[in-house]
Amino acid sequence: MCDRTGTETLENLYCLRCNRELESGQKSVAVYLFAQTVGVRPRQKSSAQRICFCAQCAVSLGMGPPPEGALNVAAWQMIRDVVGADPALTEAAWEDLRGVAATLPENDAEGTPRPTGTNGYLEF
């Protein structure tokens, strides 16, 4: 049912977590969300929402602890799936972090958190 041939609208997209503007072609994660009724006729279906996370936030979320709320947990698990499946996304996130780290004092390096990728439930 999805058309992936590049017909997406060219609206400006912002990371839901950090509000960074996502440029066209930038590595990011999009979560598509819609609701539909089950067992009700005629079936009702909401419009689809597209929620975006920049690579850094997606990796940070995916490597982090589960959030509060069943719906948030469901989204978190989906993000973990795609983050774990695509090293390019993690690399993009680290490139972002290196850019940030370059502006920090050298003696702060030991406090830098590192994603381990071994502390959980990544399944492929």
Residues that bind Zn ion (CB under 5 A): 15, 17-18, 20, 54, 57
Nearest to 35 by CA among 26, 27, 44, 22: 44
Q: Minimum CB separation from Zn ion for residue 74, in Å?
A: 20
Cis amide prior to 66 (ω within 30 degrees): no
Q: Which structure tokens are listed for 73?
A: 């947990």
Closer residue to Zn ion, CB minimum distance, 20 or 31: 20
Nearest to 29 by CA among 88, 69, 74: 88
Closer residue to Zn ion, CB minimum distance, 81 or 96: 96
Q: Minimum CB separation from Zn ion for residue 120, in Å?
A: 21
Q: Minimum CB separation from Zn ion for residue 58, in Å?
A: 8
Closer residue to Zn ion, CB minimum distance, 15 or 79: 15
What's the farthest any 2 CA atoms get from each other in the chain?
63
The residue count for the chain: 124
Closer residue to Zn ion, CB minimum distance, 54 or 83: 54
Q: Minimum CB separation from Zn ion for residue 56, in Å?
A: 6
